[in-house]
Chains A and B, each alone.
Chain A
Amino acid sequence: MKRKSKFPIIYLILITLINYLPILVVVVFSFNSSKLSTVWSSFSLRWYEKLFSNHRLMESFFNSILLGLASTGLSAVIGTLGAVGLAKTNYRTNKLVAYLSTLPLMIPEIILGMTYLAFFSILSIPFGFLTLLLAHTAFCVPYVLMMVSARLVGMDQSLEDAALDLGASRKRAFWDVTMPMLSPAIISGSVLAFAMSFDDVVISLFVNSPYFNTLPTRVYTQLKTGVTPDINALCTLMLLFMIIVMVFYFIISERRKKR
């Protein structure tokens, strides 16, 4: 089907431009020498220098990475095991378990946040890294669980059976046959989980402590008290990193196709 109308293309370009406008502004103002976000004075890299000496901001950045990796790792294991377990057993409760485990994605974040604040304080778990890890794991598990479950549904069970028939131990069949087929789903679920953990504001605000801030909660407090442009610089660097990763991914997948 060939389309003569140019309208769809114009629409796609227009919405994409609007989508990028706020980001573009942040990038431009990260090179602004003035501290104010209202006036452009001149080009400067001073906020990039300031960024690396802003220990509190850098600390919260690394906290977020640490928390993201920990909760993603934990949920990758729990989610994958859970999905495999649900697919290979046929208990009547399986459907209910799958539903309840993905519930954190169906509940507005604000409710999840307040629920954890109330629950963790009655259990007197000290607020900080541990509470953040628990809360983030709760909403990261569903991403891995859903991705891996979807993959298991479309997977050919006979391959694993063949390996078993050919004398492979159950362990060996799992690691050599099932796992390689599941890994794309585990990876995409984990990437999603990490992105969600890394960007979470609402839930983290409820369960963090003044001594352990994540990047989003730090930015949130700054937005209420006054933003310094080094945050613009940090986000520009993060955006650059994201673009590099994406372009790499794009080139690799294009190459693979040509082969």
Chain B
Amino acid sequence: MGRHMIAGDLNDDGTVPKRRKTSPYIAALIPLYLVMILLVIGPLVYTVMLSFATNVGNGGFSWKLTVENYRRMIDPVYRVTFLKSIQLAFLSTLLISLIGYPFGYWMSRLSKKWKKIMILLVVIPFGVNSLIRYYGIIILLQSKGVLNWLLLKLHLIEEPIKFLYNYSTVLAGMVYGLLPFMILSVYSSAEKIDWTLVEASRDLGATKTEAFFSIIFPLTIPGLFSGVILSFVPSMGLFFVSEILGGNKIVLVGSLIQDQMTRGGNWPFAAAIAVLLTIVTSVLLIASARISQLQGETRKGNNLI
């Protein structure tokens, strides 16, 4: 900020120095700084501090510093929960990408009018509370539910199938809830593709598959990547999906934190789990950002040659 304080003459090219131009905008930044300090940095720093505090039981803690909360996570019970959550987040992100990418891409190939209609169709479900949509899944899949009724009527099964309350239902629930984000972000990057490039490559003898992998796919990597973030980050924490569709049988790290914050009452331990989860999430995200960046670059290089 110092350099703005120095009173300056006119710039070399005769214009008024930037200083006078920027000053009124400092005030505009104040609310953002307040939000950043009070609602982002403050709470996060406090949580990190809390993770080193000592639990004294009954929801209380003292500021005697300890690493006990982190040590406790090596305990197999917690370690398994942690790994299971990461595995579920990975699997759901993978499935979301596999289902959502072709959807978003093919959507971008529709006529203008149908594109708009499809966007509406993807967005409209957001108008229904997401919990209610999960409730719809329960009505659909429960043992006396619509799907079992249909299968019984068609004599495809003898006994109702137990669809609900297992790992695959939770996984399906995650995919169902987060798919639209992937679709929309892949669509928005596929929409911007310059098709003359693809046509040129086809004219030069590239097959459809070659054209897809050398031109289209690299151009949609940013969209795919933002879709991955938008599905991976929430799937680490959507504990209610496993509660509702998993029937408390599948304990995820999210439920663990919530439990510790309410019933269990060990806040420092909850804070330690949260810190570790944040670190794991950011490391994975940074790694995947690097990979997608590198891939984009090598592809670009290949194209130039």
Chain A interface (Cβ < 8 Å from any Cβ of B)? 1, 3, 8-9, 11-12, 15-16, 19-26, 29, 37-39, 77-79, 81-82, 84-86, 88-91, 97, 100-101, 103-111, 114-119, 122, 134-135, 137-138, 141, 145, 170, 195, 199, 201-202, 205-206, 215-216, 219-220, 223-224, 227, 231-232, 235, 238-239, 241-243, 246-247, 250, 253-254
Contact of A84 among B18, B25, B233 (CB under 8 A): B25
Q: A220: nearest residue on chain B (CB-CB)?
A: B131
Tell me the smallest distance from the CB of A42 to a CB of chain B, in Å: 17
Cβ–Cβ contact B35 & A78, under 8 A: yes
Bound CA span A174–B95, Å: 46
Bound CA span A201–B135, Å: 14
Contact of B126 among A3, A26, A105, A199 (CB under 8 A): A199
Also in contact, A202 and B237, with CB within 8 A (given A23-B125, A216-B131): yes
Residue B197 at the A interface, CB < 8 A? no
Bound CA span A39–B133, Å: 19
Contacts of B199 in A (CB 8 A): 1
- Produce 1/0 per residue, B221-261, CB < 8 A to A: 00000000100011011111001100000000110011001
Tell me the smallest distance from the CB of A84 to a CB of chain B, in Å: 5
Contact of B36 among A100, A115, A202, A231 (CB under 8 A): A100
Q: B89: nearest residue on chain A (CB-CB)?
A: A108
- Produce 1/0 per residue, B85-116, CB < 8 A to A: 00000000000000100110011011001001
A-B contact count (CB 8 A): 247
- Beyond the given A29-B139, A114-B261, A239-B127, please list 19 additional residue pairs across the A-B interface where CB-CB is below 8 A: A1-B109, A16-B122, A22-B137, A25-B139, A78-B35, A82-B32, A84-B25, A86-B32, A101-B35, A106-B285, A107-B278, A109-B237, A115-B274, A138-B35, A216-B129, A232-B132, A235-B128, A239-B128, A250-B117
Cβ–Cβ contact A119 & B236, under 8 A: no
Bound CA span A138–B128, Å: 23
Cβ–Cβ contact B132 & A231, under 8 A: yes
Contact of B26 among A21, A26, A85 (CB under 8 A): A85
Tell me the smallest distance from the CB of A173 to a CB of chain B, in Å: 11
Cβ–Cβ contact B40 & A138, under 8 A: yes
Nearest 7 Cβ contacts at the A-B interface: A242-B127, A22-B136, A82-B32, A108-B237, A110-B237, A85-B28, A85-B29
Contact of B42 among A29, A77, A79, A119 (CB under 8 A): A119
Also in contact, A219 and B271, with CB within 8 A (given A84-B28, A90-B18, A110-B239): no
Residue B43 at the A interface, CB < 8 A? yes
Cβ–Cβ contact A103 & B237, under 8 A: no
* B15-57 interface (Cβ within 8 A of A): 18, 21-22, 24-29, 31-33, 35-36, 39-44, 46-47, 50
Bound CA span A8–B111, Å: 13
Bound CA span A115–B1, Å: 32
Bound CA span A237–B253, Å: 35
Cβ–Cβ contact A118 & B133, under 8 A: no
Cβ–Cβ contact A118 & B50, under 8 A: yes
Cβ–Cβ contact B271 & A118, under 8 A: yes
Contacts of A135 in B (CB 8 A): 39
Also in contact, A246 and B139, with CB within 8 A (given A81-B32, A90-B18, A111-B278): no
Cβ–Cβ contact B239 & A202, under 8 A: yes
Determine which residue in A89, A109, A227 has the highest number of CB atoms from chain B within 10 A of its CB, and name it: A89
Residue B144 at the A interface, CB < 8 A? yes
Contacts of A254 in B (CB 8 A): 113, 116
Residue B190 at the A interface, CB < 8 A? no
Cβ–Cβ contact B129 & A250, under 8 A: no
Contacts of A118 in B (CB 8 A): 43, 46-47, 50, 261, 267, 271
Bound CA span A170–B243, Å: 54
- Produce 1/0 per residue, B163-196, CB < 8 A to A: 0000000000000100110000000000000010
Cβ–Cβ contact A3 & B117, under 8 A: no
